[in-house]
Amino acid sequence: MYKKERPKLSVTALLYGTSGPPPAPVWTSVVTSLSPTYHGSGGSVNGGSTAVSSSLQPQSSFPGLLGTSAYAPSGQQQQQQSGGQLSGGRYPPNHPLSGSKHLCSICGDRASGKHYGVYSCEGCKGFFKRTVRKDLTYACREDRNCVIDKRQRNRCQYCRYQKCLSCGMKREELKMRTREPLFPDWKQSREEKKAVQEERQRTKERGENEVESTSSGQAEMPIDRILEAELRVEPKAEDLEVNALPSRGAPAPQPVHRLPFVPQVKPADLTMPPEKDPVTNICQAADRQLHQLVEWAKHIPHFTELPLEDRMVLLKAGWNELLIAAFSHRSMGVKDGIVLATGLVVQRHSAHSAGVGAIFDRVLTELVAKMRELRMDRTELGCLRAIVLFNPEARGLRCSAQVEALRERVYAALEDHCRQQYPEQPGRFAKLLLRLPALRSIGLKCLEHLFFFKLIGDTPIDNFLLSMLEAPSDS
């Protein structure tokens, strides 16, 4: 007779009365993904995000490589962030906060870290930060004893702020800028953290009453001057001749598709330039754009007030991302191609034939297509580039607090612009910020492909930028 064997139980199973609790997620470090591989009864979950691993953080002084990893959020993640609450919890299963045991001391929501002395969520952290920095005062309509929890924390700002203080939040901590993250191994760029936090905050508090006014943002960071800086350096339509770069056996150049919200360009008279490698053309365009980039930075409000050494550090840290953002926006009216500063259109098939098709496709899908979908205007482009420029985590920066204050002003000015110009799109500000992680990741990958190593011959980029910054500004 067949005797069914009794399954063996582990010690853990005997203690728990089951086959044991599922093992904790195992965070693996790989080259192309920062997403975790979750080992458990439910199989594996991989977020599919693209990044540069910590092993790729350079130790050299080549510009643009800051040692800060970033990944481009997938379309599914963006949809989850902008579509409301996530099923099964506020965070996706591969997010580090999905297993957090700490709760916000103020409202009881899930804490994202220790902020200003106590564990708190992003909402209460941001509320306290805005209150202290703007020196806001509130009044309670009741008896100053309102319930502050996850669902009612926005009903009385006075009681919420008093609870922040009673729970131990310290105003001086805001000046010291200390933070103890719950998950130090979770590596995200500053831009991505800001974008995800803004989007989560708007999704979570949509329909509620807490919206601090940022109308003073434009006074502190005049957005018209940012737009003026963009218009000053961008090639004019009448000066820009667009030639398609042919490849051997490739079809005729595709026509330029014109859209009303991008600078109009005109095709040339079908006389093709001498055939060059697409990488060579990109390098030559970047060489020309570097001169214009320094001129652009000089006209960004408050940039010239920084010490010369810090200005050079900021340009070294962000020049590649600044150039990529510029030609991506310039290419919104072109199908399957990018428009360089020289007027040359590099088509997708040419990039693939040159061996740089993968990164080229990322530019098209993660930057150009998204900019086209948002119908990103020039003011928004200028603000995003100013955010990249004012990078308080740039290596070697001395006045990091001053630079961060300038970046915060740009954030406020951009949010105010979105609220005034696009009132029917409440999530537009967060969607714009979500392009920054993709821009950072693509910028690092472009350097990895040696796109810009031939920019200025044998002249070190430090000397080049220094000479440009010391030169008088073009009138």
Cβ atoms of 368 and 332 closer than 8 Å? yes
- The Cα-based distances of 40 to 17, 37, 60 in angstroms read 18, 10, 40
For residue 407, the model assigns a pLDDT of 94
For residue 431, the model assigns a pLDDT of 93
At residue 72, φ and ψ (nearest 5 deg) are -90, 120
DSSP code for 320: H
Q: Which amino acid is at 413?
A: A
330 Cβ neighbours under 8 A, 6+ residues apart: 234, 262, 263, 338, 339
Domain 217-267+276-470: which topology? Retinoid X Receptor (1.10.565)
335 Cβ neighbours under 8 A, 6+ residues apart: 254, 257
Per residue in 310-346, pLDDT tens? 999 999 899 889 989 998 999 998 888 888 777 778 8
- The Cα-based distances of 160 to 112, 141, 163, 366 in angstroms read 18, 13, 5, 39
Per residue in 456-474, pLDDT tens? 344 445 555 555 555 555 5
Q: Which amino acid is at 368?
A: V
Rounded distance between C-alpha atoms, residue 401 and residue 409, angstroms: 13
CA 276 to chain centre: 33
pLDDT band at 306 (very low <50, low <70, confident <90, very high): very high
Q: In this structure, how many other beta carbons lie within 10 angstroms of the beta carbon of residue 308?
A: 11
Q: Answer whether residue 162 shows pLDDT above 50.
A: yes
Helix (H) or strand (E) holding 242: strand 241-244
Percent share of the chain, pLDDT over 90: 28
| CA proximity to 85, closest of 200, 176, 254 | 200
The domain 101-181 is classified under which CATH number: 3.30.50.10, 3.40.190.10, 3.30.70.360, 3.30.200.20?
3.30.50.10
Percent share of the chain, pLDDT over 70: 52
Task: Kindly report the pTM of this predicted structure.
Answer: 0.48
User: What residue spans define the domains of the chain?
Assistant: 101-181, 217-267+276-470
For residue 201, the model assigns a pLDDT of 54
For residue 429, the model assigns a pLDDT of 94
Helix, strand and coil percent figures for the chain, each rounded to 5: 45, 5, 45
Q: Which 3 state secondary structure label does DSSP give 67? A: coil
Lowest mean pLDDT among 22-36, 88-102, 156-170, 401-415: 22-36
Cβ atoms of 96 and 186 closer than 8 Å? yes
Per residue in 195-246, pLDDT tens? 556 555 544 443 333 333 333 344 478 899 999 999 988 765 444 444 433 3
Tokens standing for residue 357: 């098709």
| Across 444-453, average pLDDT | 61
DSSP strand pairing (50-51 vs 71-72): antiparallel
